[in-house]
Structure 1
Amino acid sequence: MTLPKLAASALLILVVMAALTHWRASTREATANADFPPDGQFVTIEGRRVHYVMRGSGPDLVLIHGASGSLRDFTFALMDRLAQDYRVIAFDRPGLGHSDPISDTSLTAQSSALKAAAAELGVTSPVVLGQSYGGAVALAWAMSGGPRALVLVSAPSLPWPGALDIWYRATASQPGQMVLVPLAAAFVPQSYVTRATEAVFAPDPVPPGYGAWLGTELTLRRETLATNAAQVNALRDELVAMEPRYPLLTLPVELIHGTADTIVPLTIHSSPLATRLPNAYLTVIPGAGHMPHHAHADVVIAAIARAALH
């Protein structure tokens, strides 16, 4: 076969693969949107919709979810318990769940959008709980003022040694995103998602029914994957920039962290952060993993109660 014929054959294979990938990703996205539609309401901030669920009455409590997730992490079980004592508002962060993406994916831009969304709902001085990446968003919100207190659950707050995992390193560039995001959206199997969920909870078990409720299919949409990758890849540099300002945060801050958290290690984040915040209280949960708001919900609820007293 001549070189031009080889090139033509290779090009044809690439075109067919691209078309198959696009079709399969589009099909999976349509199924995800149909199976997990918005279960809350929307407010519009600067032309972009922010999806939220609000329940209960009492002092205002805002919940901000972590990376690769949505507010469904909270509505699985925790939100109903909290709604007995608080007016609870759980947001989908911009570009995740059913909230529209915004051009600026920074912590500051996300917190500003959520702060504005909360204000539209009449919420101006809430307790703000952030889990994992959502805790970094909560810290950025506090930097601009507004929260009466923070509750940070397994939250990254300080720069860490080493690099992110291979997925984030590979999608840090535009070419990497262009190639890998569509492939992941089209072909990542459910078995991989199940193993990844178990790893995030470990050594704690995944609650029965959690995987089916969470709607990880929403996270595997192309736009959501790209947004999440951009947010996580920028996180370390943003924490470096925020770190010098932590001593200025005089509001009460409850820190909850497990000793067995390998996703966001206690010794790198909450332990040193507790010494840098003027009004912080650290609760360490021996043997707990990255998701204590499920496996050790009573501890988190107690921390919220302490924060709400201020």
Structure 2
Amino acid sequence: MFIKRTIIPLLVLMVFVAAFTAGCFNKSAKDTNATPASVGVIDMTKAVQAHPKYQQLNTLKQQFNMLVAQAQAQSKQQPGSSLSSVKPLQDHAALNTAFEQEYKEKMSAKQSELHQSLVAKADQLRSQLATEFKEYTDEIDKEYQPQIFSLQLKLKTLQLSKEELAAFQAELEKVQQIRSDKLAVKEKQLTEQMDKTMAPAQVAVEQELAAYSQQLNNQLAQKAAAKGAEIEARNSAVADANRLANAATSNQIREIEQQAGMKKQEASVLEQAIIQDVRDKAAKVAAERQLDTIITNIQINVNAVDITEAVIAEFKKQ
């Protein structure tokens, strides 16, 4: 709650009408020898400020203003309620991002590790099959290479007719084709053997990667739950601290408001007492000087007696 500063009026416009003798009111309207009414004027501001208790009134007003300013300052410093609602969302978002990044990095490292292991096994098997293929090629060459060489030599050295040349050439191509076909069959067999041998290893790698992913997810989920609980506990503590601080500040503000209200009431009572005292003293001076009317703070030229100093002099007699 904010306290709006209240300005306590200092000046009250008042008119004192004093009847000093019964004869003044009983004179006939036709009496041409009646004395003109006497008028007095008083500077209320000056009279009030000269009152012995004016300094006390001024002190009360200053104290009231200080209390109002203090309450406003306390209200501005009061902790907000947005921290407990916004900060947890920010923490959880950052936490999820961190765990997602950790999962990606560890999965990438594991996948690279398993891939390298699979590649190493494939290279080893490929080397073995290459050796086997070379040995088979050597055996095939022992069988077919002499025939090929002999036919090639005949084609280059013998004087052959066109028909003989065609026959030798056809036989050479046939032998070469048989050799190539056998090597192709062997190569296909070895390729199928490699695929068959590597298939279980590939499945094992995929299963191991899936198991690792599940294990990693469980670990990170546990870490996230623990960290989330820590965040919730921290934010709950912050929220509790904010509520306590708000409650304490609100209590302080209420106390200050109550003090300000009391100061305001005290100042108002004292001000009214000062004004009433000024009225009483003005009435006394008016009676002593036989003035019919007293007006306050007049701003126009009138034929009136200024009794301000006389009223102030009355204060000094107290």
- TM-score category of the 2 structures, normalised to the smaller one: under 0.3
TM-score (norm 2): 0.18
Q: Which has the higher helix share?
A: 2
Q: Which has the higher strand share?
A: 1
The structure that has the greater radius of gyration is 2
TM-score (norm 1): 0.19
